[in-house]
Structure formats: structure tokens, C-alpha cells
Amino acid sequence: MTDRPRGRPWRLLVTEACDGASNMAVDEALWRGRQAGGAPPTLRFFAWAPPTVSLGYGQPLAGDVDLAACAALGVGLVRRPTGGSAIYHDGPERELTYSIVATAADLGIGADLLETYHWIGRALARGLRALGAPVEMVPVAPSGGPTPAFCFARAGSYELEIGGRKVVGSAQRRQGTAFLQHGAVLLGVDAPRLAALFPTTADPLATLTTLEAALGRRPGFDEVAHALAAAFEAEHGLALEPGGLSADEAALAAALAAEKYATDAWLAGAA
């Protein structure tokens, strides 16, 4: 545990699985609230229904993901407000997604982007190790080179690997003093779907692994969420308080889902 003052308690938000537009709208509502100073820093765990591909904020729609395969398989498609590459979110049976909305001051560190990645990565690593997974944190990675279509095709600075293969993928975006970070923790994997959805990625399985592969069993969503929440408290001295959306956050999220994240313009990157 660090010697950082406990300060303001953090909210722990665990939400039901929902569609991509609703998930991204909730995170933007939380992010806006923290920017305005009226909402607490928040750690959120969530899942997706139906399974969904999320594109990075600046990622092209055409070419990186097989849109026809998404339609044929009943897979949703949404653009995140955070950067990075596309991820296939295969429901709570195979993935836990986290988001963090906070400021650097909430973390008790400087404003450098990599400092926030490192702070978050330390807690994620602690939680997964508590489950028995021998995760290792990637050192600062060199920048440059083409951005892969598939998030798990390459590990970035302070992301987590097991045996040299990526098990958690994360992306962040900042506005003002507040940031939003998303991350996907792979519990298991549907290999045929990955191949169908990312045809330009030669072998999606070559660079990733899962907790199921590491542990010899697939841990449940609730088990992983509990381990990660405990790790954030132990690693950083947080006081996580279970809570829900405020009435204002819920109303804003509903509006953002309908007027932004579910629109063709936003998905195309034109909004």
C-alpha cells in the first residue's frame, strides 16, 4: 500500500451487461461529471450484451473490422471515446471491461500520461496475481510504427502480459484535468469469431492469452471484479464505496446513447 492520503473516497460501480452505445454513454457521463467536479472518481466494471466490437476514437471504420461478419454473427459495433485499436467484447463469460474516471490529483501523482497508466497497471497486476495469474507489466514501449487493427496484436507501455502475450488491453483519453481509461481483461476467447471479425490480422491468437489459459480454468466475472477492486484498495489505499449513477448521470447517459453513440455519424467518425 502506498502512503498516499486516502482523501476523497472513490465510487465502485458495477453495472449490468448492456449494448455498446449505452456502455460508452455511461462512461462519458461519468467523465463529464468528474471534469465538472461534481462527481467522484469512479472505478467501473461492466460487460456487453450483445457481444460488441468497440473501435478506438480515431480508428477508421472501413477495413479494420469485417462489418458483414459483425452483422452475420449478431455482434454490435460502437466507437469508443478513448483511443487505441478495436477490441471484441465477448460478454461477461469471456471478458471483464473496466473503466476509470479520475484526475491525476485523485491518483496522487503527476499529470504525465504514462504515470497514470503505470498507477492503474500496478493495481490490475496485483489483482490478477491474487487470482494466480503470473502477469508481467510491459516496460515503456517504443513509439512509432503502424497502429494495428486489433488491440491485442501489440502491447503498449504498462499493459499486462503472461508469457509475452497480452492479457489486458487499455486505452485512455483526456479532457482538461480529467481522464477516462478503458481496459479489457480476457477471461476466455472465441478464436473463430476473432478470425472472422479481424480478417486483416493474420493470427489474432498469436499475441494474446487469457486467464483461462493461465489458470487452467476460466474465472467468473464477479470473481475477477472482486479481486481487482480489492487490489485497487490495497495497492493505492483507496476507499471504494459501491454506488450507482446519480439521476443527472443517468439522464445524460441516456441522451448520449441516443444522440451520439448509437448514431451512424459517430460510428463513421464524422461526429
Name the residues annotated as catalytic: 151
In the chain, at which residue ranges do the beta strands (DSSP E only) sit? 10-14, 42-46, 52-55, 76-79, 87-89, 95-103, 136-137, 160-162, 165-175, 178-186, 240-242
Nearest to 41 by CA among 179, 227, 228, 246: 179
Integer Cα distance of 114 and 112 in angstroms: 6
Count CB atoms within 10 A of the CB of residue 229.
21
Going by C-alpha positions, the residue among 32, 7, 47 that lies closest to residue 177 is 32
Q: Residue 42 in 3-state DSSP?
A: strand
Q: Is 186 helix (H, G, I), strand (E, B) or coil?
A: strand
